[in-house]
Amino acid sequence: MCGELIREGVRSQKGFSHPTHPLPTPHSHAPHPLPPTPMPFTHLRTIRFSDTDAAGVVYFANVLSICHEAYEASLAAAGVELNSFFQAEAVAVPIVHAEIRFMQPMVCGQTYAIAVMPNRLSPEKFQIDYMIRGPLKTTTEPSTLPLVSQATTVHLCIDPTTRERTPLPAQLEHWLTTIPSNPDIPAS
Q: What residues act catalytically? A: 53
Element (H, E) at 148: strand 147-156
**C-alpha radius of gyration, the chain, whole number:** 18
The residues pairing with 126 across neighbouring beta strands, listed in sequence order, are 120, 155
Q: Which one-letter DSSP state was computed for residue 143? A: G
Cβ proximity of 109 and 155 under 8 Å: no
**DSSP of 167-187:** PPPHHHHHHHHHS---TTPPP
Distance from C-alpha of 66 to C-alpha of 55, rounded to nearest angstrom: 19
Q: At residue 112, what is the residue type?
A: Y
